[in-house]
Amino acid sequence: MENVKKIIQYQDGDASETDAQIELKISENKRLKKIFELNNEINRISNDKGLLNFIEKTSSLRNEYSENPKIAKTIHLKNWFLAASIFIISGLLVFYFVNKRNPNDRIFGQFYSKYEISIATRSGIADINELTAAIQYYDQCQYKEAIIRFNKILSTDKNNISALFFSAVSYMEIKDYQKAAVNFKCVINLKDTAFAEHASWYLALCYIKTNNIQMARNIISQIAESDSYYRAKACELSKKLNNP
């Protein structure tokens, strides 16, 4: 960190060491060179008001076009009645289907929550490995991207338990319960106690979601009889499955 400080001070004209000493350090160390280049970029962009304004402007347009399609903006007043009617009918349909929802879906909704993780990075400039990068995408809810990264890890290390587990939860998040179940089973077979109990719980939920209720019951009863973190939840879930 001391070197990072010196580089910033050097580039910003506050250096205590001689230019030659710092330049030598930068030329000898790849990471310091990257920091040097990044600081250059930050200084250049910060000073380029035209570019900053342009990026800010396109950022706000980007949000506008992602959240409010142009139809919403250009709709004519005479179409308001039509829009309102569609809205009311859609509301009624949503209400109807929510109430008609498969009881298993309802149970799943009550018990499923994403496995949260807090990413621990070293203070200062962190070197990110493939797994950390993948987990960061997972943490940012970019599941498709996360899956690509986890699969990349699994292509060279098929028993990487973290990649298997988090890719499985990512599959759940994108509603691909079949693939999720496959990876959870791999985790359970690896017999890593730290992940296995989580994997069992989520596998049971995958089975509920795919209407394999008997398979779900088998797992849930095992969890309910164990000292798993999910024991209490499993008892409650078991009751719900018996009396949906």
Partner 1 sequence: MGKGKLTDEEIVNGILSQNTEVLKFVYENNFKSVKKHIEDNNGSESDAQDIFQDILILLFNKIRNNELTLTCSFNTYLMAIAKTQWLNILRKRKKIHIPISEQEHLLECDEDLNEKLIQAEKERLITQYLGELPKECKKIMDLILNGSNLIEITDQMGYNSVQHTKNKKLKCKKNLISKIMSNPRFKELADGKCKENNSIPRW
Chain contacts with partner 1 (rule: CB under 8 A): 1, 4-5, 8-9, 11-14, 33-35, 37-47, 49-59, 61-62, 65-66, 70, 121, 123-126, 128, 132-133, 136-137, 142, 144-145, 148, 152
* Closest distance of CB 96 from partner 1, Å: 29
Query: From CA 236, how far away is CA 6, in angstroms rounded?
Result: 58
* Closest distance of CB 97 from partner 1, Å: 25
- Is the Cβ of residue 23 or residue 105 nearer to partner 1 in the bound state? 23
Query: From CA 186, how far away is CA 158, in angstroms rounded?
Result: 9
Contact 169, 138 (CB under 8 A): yes
Query: From CA 123, how far away is CA 145, in angstroms rounded?
Result: 25
- Is the Cβ of residue 35 or residue 186 nearer to partner 1 in the bound state? 35
Contact 135, 161 (CB under 8 A): no
* Closest distance of CB 164 from partner 1, Å: 19
The amino acid at 180: A
Q: How many other β-carbons are positioned within 10 Å of the β-carbon of residue 106?
A: 14
* Closest distance of CB 181 from partner 1, Å: 22
What is the sign, positive or negative, of the torsion defined by CA atoms of 202, 119, 143, 190?
A: negative
Query: From CA 115, how far away is CA 17, in angstroms rounded?
Result: 48
- Is the Cβ of residue 30 or residue 191 nearer to partner 1 in the bound state? 30
- Is the Cβ of residue 11 or residue 210 nearer to partner 1 in the bound state? 11
- Is the Cβ of residue 104 or residue 162 nearer to partner 1 in the bound state? 162
* Closest distance of CB 79 from partner 1, Å: 18
Q: Report helix angle 30-47 to 49-67, nearest 10.
A: 90
